[in-house]
Amino acid sequence: MSSEAHSEWSASGFKRIMLCPGSKVLEKGAPRSSTSYAAEGTAAHEVLEMCLVNDKPATAYLGRIIQADGYDIEVTEDMVEHIQGVVDRVKEYAGDDGTIFPEQRLYYAEYLGVDRDTAWGTGDVTIAKGNKLIIIDLKYGKGKWVDVVENPQLMLYGLGAVAAYDGLVDSFDEVQLVIDQPRINPKPSEWTISKDDLIKWGAGPAAAAVRAAKMAELTHKANDAAWRDTFLKPGEDQCTFCKGKAKCPKLLAEVADTIGVSAASPEEFDASDIECKPEDQDNEWLAVFLRKVDLIEDWCRAVRAEADLRLKAGTYVPGWKLVQGKRGNRAWAEGKEDWVVDVLSDWVDYNELYTRKLKGPAAIEKLHKQKIIGEREWTTVQQYITQADGKPHVAPADDPRPALEINSVADDFSEVE
């Protein structure tokens, strides 16, 4: 799977640059980092690519271990189910007359006015169909819904696809952008833009964002309040994945303002100063503060990560140190399991030493598709398959999922005179 890590103007981070030109300065020199969740997403993308390139079902890769971002990720039944749904939908978009191009590097530098090798991204799926280009982007995470309308990442992919295929495969009039988030919504979100309007956006707002970010780099002064006010614009969309947010003075001020403390000096940033006393403790107040929660939590995690990084590098952080964490779970030494069984089998039955577990529905269905399990037997056992509903959680009002109807607790009581 291709990476956008070495693209200076990567599509995945372009929305942040458009919203906060100074973020590019703060991120400069920041080390690359990953999480198990990001690695899981990388593995899911790899499974999607293998399915489309090899024309195989996702079950063909069940149980495979994929090394991604320093993690060993197992292809689980849950991943297989979600990726197979994406594969099916990709083929529906392509139909009989569409050509599918999985995992293509798409160059859009010519529209931004920069060198070709500095501006590119990797499109998950590109489909050329008639007079239309279709760009499909897989978002495997289940934490946040991503809006497809005027989405800079997909619009840049669209520009790259126009540059690569327009006039070569066919002549295109419009570009359809699709975001598929199988773990959030089984129905992809779509938005279509004409090729001419897309090119105008690239040469207009997108190119202007690049110029602003370059200006931010040229004029950067660490203690220049005017520079900070001009180029740093904190907000949830731009700060969530920004690698420089832990040292962003504007974000610190935003957090301090929200919780009611001064950000003037470290001495003032003290628990004793926190006074969150809104005049009107009603739902309007809660709604306003709720939109700041993710931003503040992201900042807190970024600060911890920055401290961890510096301490591990041997940098002195006043008042803090590294200590040994809790020991991991006990396990048999590698390659010694058979020896342990030989020692213990004289005392207990083999069945006492091993744990057996029935395979899940996805794995059993794979056996059915391989004709190992008959149609009648598979139909019979399907009645015993259950799937738990997702747990309710708070989401913004513009989230595409329908709101749950929850009756007020007061409705369960009658008024007493």
Question: In the chain, pLDDT over 70 holds for what percent of residues?
Answer: 87
More confident residue, 279 or 392: 392
Map residue 60 onto helix, strand or coil.
Answer: helix
Residue 106 in domain:
yes
pLDDT, residue 161, reads 95
Indicate the pLDDT class of residue 300, thresholds 50, 70 and 90: confident
What is the rounded distance in angstroms from the CA atom of residue 158 to the CA atom of residue 175? 7
Does residue 293 have a pLDDT over 90? no
Same domain for 211 and 266:
no
Written as one letter, the residue type at 76 is T
**Span 49-61, average pLDDT:** 95
Same domain for 213 and 67:
yes
Residue 156 in domain:
yes
pLDDT, residue 356, reads 80
Residue 93 in domain:
yes
Same domain for 185 and 82:
yes
Does residue 95 have a pLDDT over 70? yes
Nearest by Cα to 152 from 49, 286, 10, 48: 10
Residue 325 in domain:
no
Least confident of 226-230, 239-243, 283-287, 301-305: 283-287
Q: How far is CA 18 from CA 151, 196, 214, in A?
A: 11, 21, 12
Residue 390 in domain:
no
Last residue of a domain, one of 192, 217, 242: 217
pLDDT, residue 415, reads 65
pLDDT, residue 294, reads 78
Indicate the pLDDT class of residue 3, thresholds 50, 70 and 90: very low
Same domain for 362 and 250:
no
Same domain for 303 and 192:
no
Same domain for 213 and 164:
yes
The owner of tokens 């292809």 is 75
Does residue 241 have a pLDDT over 90? no
In this prediction the pTM is 0.68
Residue 335 in domain:
no
Residue 319 in domain:
no
Same domain for 286 and 204:
no
Residue 75 in domain:
yes
Structural domain span for residue 162: 14-217
Does residue 386 have a pLDDT over 80? yes
| The two three-digit tokens of residue 268, written as one number | 């003032």
Last residue of a domain, one of 188, 217, 246: 217
Same domain for 295 and 257:
yes
Same domain for 184 and 150:
yes
Last residue of a domain, one of 312, 342, 377: 312
| The two three-digit tokens of residue 412, written as one number | 């369960």
pLDDT tens digit sequence for 10-51: 999 999 999 999 999 888 877 676 788 889 999 999 999 999
pLDDT, residue 169, reads 67
Burial class (CB in 10 A: 0-12, 13-18, 19+), 294: middle
Same domain for 61 and 138:
yes
The owner of tokens 């920041």 is 30
Same domain for 361 and 294:
no
Q: How many domains does the chain have?
A: 3
Same domain for 246 and 203:
no
